[in-house]
Amino acid sequence: MNGAVSAMGMADPFAALNHETYMRRAIAQARRVPRYPFGAVLVRITDGDVLAEGHNRSSLNPTFHGEIDVINRLAASSAGIEWASLVLYTTAEPCPMCQSAIVWAGIRAVVYGTPIPSLQQLGWHQIDIRSDEITRRAPFSRTLILGGVLEAECNALFEAHPPA
């Protein structure tokens, strides 16, 4: 992914991170809940340490999407975390709720696999607002977005268990 460009048209400053390695960790999280395969991982930019992993737990709470779960897990385990030093990897493009939480947390970058339009084509209910639009409308945010990492593998998760 060296030289990759984000959905916002900015060069990927985290090209030194192996995006595929971390996306595979998000995919592993997604496989824990095959019916709702939304997995997420938070990684520190400077050293590549995985600080938290999460997955969709909407059976407990409708707002516990994978991204919300991983943010909550890190917040609960690490007081004083420097959110701007993190990249969030997720199997699908964050929905407006999740992308807003990412912006409010101040997370520096999001890397996703399956885009919202692909989820919609597969029958997954998605609000038709892309993550880059949420970020654009938050003038205080500098969140970078990179999509399509291991997209085929992520797509396969959502194709395997279409929504009822």
Q: Which of 67, 82, 93, 159 is catalytic?
A: 67
Decide: 54 and 39 in contact? Cβ < 8 Å: yes
Decide: 87 and 111 in contact? Cβ < 8 Å: yes
Rounded to the nearest 10 degrees, what angle do helices 66-77 and 19-30 cross at?
100
Whole-number Cα distances in Å, 133 to 113, 117, 143? 17, 14, 11
Q: Is 151 a catalytic residue?
A: no
CA distance 94 to 40: 10
Tell me which residues are annotated as active site: 67
